[in-house]
Amino acid sequence: MSDMVFLGLVLPLLVGSTPVSQELFPTDCSDVYANGQTLSGVYTIYPAGETPVQVYCDMGCLINDSQDGRWTVFQRRMDGSGNFYRPWNFIITFITCVCPTHSGLENLYQLTRKRKYELRVDLQDFEGLTVNARYSFFSVKSETEGYKLHVTGFVNGGAGDSMYESNRQKFSTLDKDQDTHKELNCARSFLGGFWYGAYGTHYTIGNVWYHWKGYDYGLKNIIMKISPVA
């Protein structure tokens, strides 16, 4: 997988009592879209503070984009490249770049604590077949809670539900074991940080989505993205 890259989001400081403008400081890609930027690409957002963050926005205009668009992408793994075998501090603090990434845990927490989000996971195999999985609710808790994941409301787009084991799990890395296994550190065993459930259904080194291709098939592309819901 690509480097674990975690957004550095922090809402802009208010000047006096002047409200923060979502036109000047968009919180996520849906705000970027509302400001008239309707082409997919890299944009600057301010999900939790005055620090600008560059992220890829899926606006639904390209061939491989989602039809509905306005998605903030937080993981892009293309062609099996990159390295997700990273320590805890790197995962929390590293600011996102435009390369294939997994965005910052602290930043996902800052994003999802303010709005309700849904999750979409797009998958592609090496034969060019594409499927997806959607979840009507996605949130990440604070660092003091281990960046625990809440993901529910599965809607099948052909991929099957390989996130159910990760629901209500804390995030584990090679140097911070927070999974439920008593005998091993899943992040070390599977060479990448993730919200590991009882059976480690997301083997990060091979980019596996068990309920579609089984444990032995490493996918070509996997994209995870979120969009606010009413």
Return all residues near 186 (Cβ < 8 A) that are at least 6 apart.
172, 177, 179, 194, 196, 200
Rounded Cα distance between 150 and 147, Å, is 10
**Which among 53, 60, 5, 3 is positioned nearest to 27, based on CA atoms?**
53
Q: Side chain identity at 185, as an amino acid letter?
A: N
Q: What is the pLDDT of residue 62?
A: 65
Tokens linked to 79: 């062609």
Q: What is the pLDDT of residue 26?
A: 93
Q: What is the pLDDT of residue 176?
A: 81
153 to 90, 117, 122, 150, 164: CA distances (angstroms): 31, 11, 16, 10, 10
Q: What is the pLDDT of residue 37?
A: 94
Q: What is the pTM of this model?
A: 0.78
Q: What is the mean pLDDT of each run of 10 residues along the chain (230 residues)?
A: 34 30 82 93 85 86 70 76 49 40 72 93 92 96 93 96 89 82 77 72 62 80 90
Range 29-228 classified under CATH 3.90.215.10:
yes
CB count in 10 Å sphere of residue 143: 13
**Which among 17, 35, 16 is positioned nearest to 25, based on CA atoms?**
35
Over 31-77, what HEC string results? HHHHCCCCCCEEEEECCCECCCEEEEEECCCCCCCCCCCCEEEEEEE
Radius of gyration of the chain measured on its C-alpha atoms = 17
- Hey, where are the domains in the chain? 29-228
- CA 26, 91, 173, 156 dihedral sign is positive
